Amino acid sequence: MGGKALDWPELEGIPEGYYAVLDPADPTTVTYWRRVITARTDYLRPWPAKAWYGPPVPRRSDVPTERSARELFVATWSKTRRAYLDQVVAAIAAGPEAAARCFADLRSCCWSCGRPLHDETSRTLGIGPDCRRDMDPTLLARYCTPEVGRAHAAHLAELQAATAGQDTD
């Protein structure tokens, strides 16, 4: 999802920055997004740059070879993908400040041990140097984002439960 977002008026309500919202397709996971606005680009993209949320890109073997069937398949997938992204944009646009605060809060602690993260690499991975020491870097890059997302969703649920508990006391 790059290039001009001219056909996406809802994006207008979201300032540049980093955001965290629950995955519209899976509320047990948090997703992370970056809004970038420059003279040449205007987009909301998954964060970190290699992350992918929502309906996965179809495997080549899943795509029909016959032309009209392929066009229908691609159009249907694009629609599904766009519907997902619309939900993400709506969730962020509903409260950009809260989503930005959520990003900052969740990315400041190790998802494994909960200690504060101090450097940029640790914040990108969501895990501190001690906890990732024994992990294969390739595995880290591939699996950390969904892992972090699930840990963060569980953390948010705990916080909400705690807050709800306070309200009834």
User: Which is nearer to Zn ion, 89 or 124 (by Cβ)?
Assistant: 124
User: Which is nearer to Zn ion, 85 or 148 (by Cβ)?
Assistant: 148
As a whole number of angstroms, the distance between CA 52 and CA 34 comes to 12
Beta-bridge partners for 30:
22
* Min CB(110)–Zn ion separation in Å: 3
* Min CB(115)–Zn ion separation in Å: 5
CA distances from 130 to 110, 115, 116, 117 (A): 10, 10, 12, 11
What are 24's two structure tokens? 């519209």
* Min CB(118)–Zn ion separation in Å: 12
As a whole number of angstroms, the distance between CA 58 and CA 140 comes to 23
* Min CB(109)–Zn ion separation in Å: 8
Residue ranges binding Zn ion (CB under 5 A)? 110, 112-113, 128, 131
Query: Taking the CA atoms of the chain, what radius of gyration do you get in angstroms?
Result: 18
User: Which is nearer to Zn ion, 70 or 115 (by Cβ)?
Assistant: 115
| CA dihedral for 91, 93, 96, 98, sign (positive or negative) | negative
* Min CB(136)–Zn ion separation in Å: 17
Residue 48: which of 150, 149, 156 has the closest Cα? 149
User: Which is nearer to Zn ion, 128 or 149 (by Cβ)?
Assistant: 128
User: Which is nearer to Zn ion, 79 or 115 (by Cβ)?
Assistant: 115
